[in-house]
Structure 1
Amino acid sequence: MKPQSSAKANVNKPVASSTPNRTAPSSRDAKSANAEQAPRRRKVQLTAREAALNVLTGVEENAAYSNLLLNRTLQQAELSPADAGLATELVYGTIARQATLDYFLNQFIKSEVKRLNPWVRSLARMSLYQIRYLDRIPAHAAVNEAVEIAKKRGHQGIASMINGVLRSILREGDNLSIPEDLPTAERIALQHSHPQWLVERWMTQYGEETAEAVCVANNQPPKVSIRVNTLRADRDELMRELEQEGHIVTASPLSASGIIVESGGNMANDHLYRDGRFSIQDESSMLVAEALSAEPGMSVLDCCAAPGGKTAHIAEKMGNKGRIVANDLHEHKQRLIVEQAERLGLTCIESSVGDAMALNQQFEPASFDRVLLDAPCSGFGVIRRKPDLRWAKTPDDAAAIARLQRQMLSSVAELVKPGGLLVYSTCTIEREENQRAVAEFLRDHAEFIAEPFEVPALEQQPQVGGAGVQILPNQFGSDGFYIARLRRRG
């Protein structure tokens, strides 16, 4: 599969969605037990749009994490599944398309969008998002709902302003477009709603066509992918079981353990998930355990393990035989790793809490056959899952995190046995954090050499991974990921 071509031909055509297609945050406790015990407590009744507006305003005013605030808001509002889906689409879609929405709104708001009260700004953006990107929602319904919310939350003056701006936009129709004669980076940034500095960075690293394809991919909803627990089933068997339940599934082209679920809702609610038959994991991420090549009986260190998806995959590939130390900096995240292991029936995993930089003081040198450093990173490979991330980062962030990554690599390398493997991975597409970090490590550590590993699906892809493999978001519709396998000389 070749990278997607440039979207110039469709530069002024909005991407329509026939139905809200983002998945609402999962919640095993959608209704609090306390709610049933306290019937006199009044709950605030919210519409889907009001719930979405509260989240967007919280993100604007308090720099809240959109996914956490959305999850909490949906639980409190107790919306129907359809309304929860709409609220989710409005939150993530509005954040993702923010730059494009602001560009159009500024043509009709004299004071500019950035000068509006945060909730008014969020309401204007959210309403325009519906008009421009959701073709199942009638434009007049979006306008009317926005006006009613403005009256309820503010006053008639705000309602009149919102009404006037949105109806003016409707009158413009197809004439409202991004100019095609803008400088390339500015056009891509506005059309696909990314910071211009980030577009320029990717153009330098990957070229104009690929940079634009990445931006297009970042605005698509993430696929639902799961990983079969090979200790309890094989992929074909699990696919048959899922199809019998009514799911539409296909085999992952990237991972031999992966399955794409094209319909079926929240897979964490499936009884097969609860029974430990599969885990929910992105396809690209599944390749990390493949690169580690851990065998039964080996000793493995996962330096930054939470929430434990890769750790569990490693344990499954080891046949649950051996020792895996799953370390994480945050003590409260250890429970996530333990829960994963218990659900999947894995007993070879032991948890550890500590700074990855200090692991060389906690364990004897050369004491592990395999070491995985899934390093903290800028996260630019998972923007489709975390749309607000693109607006939260600065040009200095990648350089700062790259310095930490180099220090971590040097520190944990001491723990690899002669002849053993060190795998370095990130969920970013930044060369500063990936290819350059590994190149500098190899320059300073002659005892290590880069060792290729086979990913059949990538054979037809142009490789820009240097000593490792770089997967871009536009190539398979999976997360952007970098994986390097480094062998310590025997």
Structure 2
Amino acid sequence: MSKYNVRDIALDILLSIEKNQAFSNLLLNKNIEKYKLTGKDAGLLTEIVYGTIQRKMTLDYYLQPFLKNPKKMQEWVRVLLRLSVYQMVYLDRVPEHAVIYEAVEIAKKRGHKGIVSMVNGVLRNLQREGLASFDSITDPVEKLAIEASHPLWLVKRWTAQYGIEKARHICETNLMPPKQTLRVNTSRFTIDEAIARLAEEGIEVKKGSVAPEALEVQKGNAAHTKAFKEGMFTVQDESSMLVAYAVGATEGDRVLDSCAAPGGKTTHIAEKLYHTGSVVSLDIHDHKVKLITEQVERLQLSNVTAVAMDSRKVSERFEKESFDRILVDAPCSGFGVMRRKPDLKYTKTEQDIMQLARIQLQILQAVEPLLKQGGTLVYSTCTIDQEENKDVVDEFLKQHPDFEWDDTLVKRLPKSVSTKVENGQLQLFPDDFQTDGFYIACLRKKVQ
């Protein structure tokens, strides 16, 4: 597979994301399989696709001075220029002349002589004259938005919520490639057994920095190993491993995971129960329930039941006060996982946040009657927006005086994050430990 083809494939993937709002990670994997790409080619394709999406606004800013009629430009030409400039600016190992040559060849194949000449001219002018400076942008929030390629409305929100410096750290971290971390299935294996087994299969790992059962992959793809198939570990970010600690299930507990797909937190809670108790896992979609079941079988867990249903209708199926602990890992904007899903930042809107906050509150209100008195209710999201996090929990507490903050949360979480816990909640940002951004709130139902 020549590198010329890799750029051609990258262009098709990026166009599909622009036109159909397709998910970058799914499209990328599908194309790597379709074209049987391996090693350097798969790496280059991944780099170009993710990098071009991550830095789209910055790339457009660099291109702007060299485009005569940007509004009249065909979408594929704009995307071709973007991915070419991305390589010229951010990829050291690809010579600029090679990038320009490849872009011209693709333009010849897809367009007429005028387009070929324009693509060649724009890229050569940019190479000759250099990149536009950000110093001409006087508003610091707008400057950060362009420099770190995040929509202005989002940077404004984060600046209002956390201040400009924290917003800068979040945005800059979102541009870095994510880590692959593994959660060892400690109900069946030790950490050392997993490390040794992965080494045999050519995967280099080191111990994680946040969760005790976490391993951080240094080299190789652990998801393609026999050890994975045999249920030795689950691929999961360290921040979301903290949820099972927050839930704090003890042997024999009955736990409800109300929004469970694809099953990472469900299986972690089940592992921590050491084949006792039970975890009931719900998801609204049948195909996602199948994903949970597949994980449960792979990990050889016997204490999980997966059910397809809308968690807002749980009272139709389950008795009041029939669970010791309930987890609401709510559907959210996903702003904590932008390193993995860079297209998110361009597709979500402020209206989405408001709508999600309503759904999140509805789920909490629907599940709370199922919790026993003295029981634990954990609310978590993979976002960093206060409207979906603390605001939702505050509103829930206002409406349900029979619940209170569980300030024992800090005792259950690993020491690594204890300084970040306030009362019964934890907000992790991507720049704190280089993990996903994540929110966890822990409430207790008062004994009447």
1:318 and 2:276 correspond: no
Counterpart Cα distance in 2 of 1:275 and 1:58: 35
> Which one of 372, 392, 397 corresponds to residue 442 of structure 1?
397
Measured after TM superposition, the shift of residue 469 of structure 1 is 0.5
Check if 1:451 corresponds to 2:402. Answer: no
- Name the counterpart of 2:351: 396
Aligned to 1:103: 61
* TM-score, normalization by structure 2: 0.95
**Aligned with 2:225 (options 270, 278, 301):** 270
Aligned positions of 1:177-256 closer than 5 A: 177-179=133-135, 182-256=138-212
Secondary structure of 1:253's aligned partner: coil
Q: What is the correspondence of 1:465-476 to structure 2 with a 5 Å cutoff?
A: 467-476=424-433
Residues in 2 aligned to 1:159 and 1:466: alpha-carbon distance in whole angstroms: 61
Shift of 1:182: 2.1
CA shift digits 1:283-327 (9 cap, x unpaired): 000000010011121111111111111110000000021111111
- 2:124 alignment partner in structure 1: 167
Which of 382, 387, 404 lines up with 2:342 in the alignment?
Answer: 387
Give the superposition deviation at 1:252.
1.6
1:284 aligned to which of 222, 239, 243 = 239
Q: Which runs of 5+ in 1 are unaligned?
A: 1-42
| Kept in 1: contact 2:384–2:429 (CA 8 A) | yes
Alignment of 1:48-63 (within 5 A): 48-63=6-21
What amino acid is the match of 1:404?
Answer: I
Match of 1:171, as an amino acid? R
CA contact (8 A) 1:439 1:467 kept: no
Q: 1:67 to 1:115 in 2, by over 3 A?
A: farther
- For the aligned residue pairs, the C-alpha RMSD in angstroms reads 1.8
Deviation at 1:103, TM superposition (A): 0.7
* Aligned counterparts of 2:90 and 2:269: Cα–Cα separation in 1: 41
Please state if 1:85 is matched with 2:43.
yes
Which amino acid is 2:246 matched to?
A
1:156 counterpart (72, 90, 113): 113
Contact in 2 for aligned 1:195/1:390 (Cα 8 Å): yes
Residue 110 of structure 1: SS of its match in structure 2? coil
Please report how far the alpha carbon of residue 477 of structure 1 lies from its aligned counterpart in structure 2 after TM superposition.
Answer: 0.8
Of the candidates 424, 431, 446, which is equivalent to residue 379 of structure 2?
424
In the TM superposition, residue 137 of structure 1 has moved relative to its aligned partner by 0.7
1:45, CA displacement in angstroms?
11
CA distance in 2, matches of 1:351, 1:214: 35
| Shift in Å, 1:242 | 2.9
Q: Which residue of 1 aligns with 2:252?
A: 297
Q: Which amino acid aligns with 1:93?
A: G
Question: How far is 1:250 from its partner?
Answer: 2.1
CA distance in 2 between counterparts of 1:271 and 1:328 reads 28
Distance 2:183 2:316 in 1: 34
8 Å CA contact 2:234–2:264 kept in 1: the answer is yes
Query: Aligned pair in 2 of structure 1 residues 284, 45: CA closer, same or farther (>3 Å)?
Result: closer
| Equivalent position SS for 1:405 | helix
CA distance in 2, matches of 1:352, 1:360: 14
- Compute the TM-score of the two structures, normalised by the length of structure 1: 0.87
Aligned equivalents of 2:262, 2:73: Cα separation in 1: 39
Deviations 1:43-73 (A, max 9, x none): 9997110110000111122222222222222
C-alpha distance in 1, partners of 2:152/2:385?
15
Of the structure 1 ranges 82-91 and 382-391, higher mean CA displacement relative to structure 2 is found in 82-91
Q: Does the CA contact (< 8 Å) of 1:169 and 1:176 recur in 2?
A: no
| Partner SS, residue 419 of structure 1 | strand
| 2:34 alignment counterpart | 76
Cα deviation digits, residues 78-115 of structure 1 (max 9, x gap): 22332122111111110110000001111100112x54
Query: C-alpha separation between the residues in 2 aligned to 1:160 and 1:54?
Result: 21
Kindly state the Cα deviation for residue 471 of structure 1 after the two structures are TM-superposed.
Answer: 0.4
User: Aligned partners of 2:72 and 2:204: how far apart in 1?
Assistant: 46
Alignment pair present for 1:129 and 2:81: no
Distance 1:46 1:74 in 2: 15
Aligned to 2:438: 481
User: The residue matched to 1:440 in structure 2 has which SS?
Assistant: helix
For residues 170 and 2 of structure 2, the distance between their equivalents in structure 1, rounded to whole angstroms, comes to: 40
Write the distance in 2 (CA, Å) between the matches of 1:231 and 1:407. 34
Q: Name the one with the larger helix percent.
A: 2
Query: How high is the sequence identity, in percent, across the aligned residues?
Result: 49
Q: Does 1:364 align with 2:319?
A: yes
Distance in 1 (alpha carbons) for counterparts of 2:33 and 2:440 = 37
Q: Secondary structure at the match of 1:372?
A: strand
- Give 3-state SS (helix, strand or coil) of 1:411's partner: helix
**Structure 1 residue identity aligned to 2:357:** A
In 2: Cα distance, 1:181 partner to 1:111 partner: 22
Q: Is 1:94–1:129's contact at 8 Å kept on the other side of the alignment?
A: yes
* Alignment size in residue pairs: 443
Q: Which residue of 2 aligns with 1:118?
A: 75
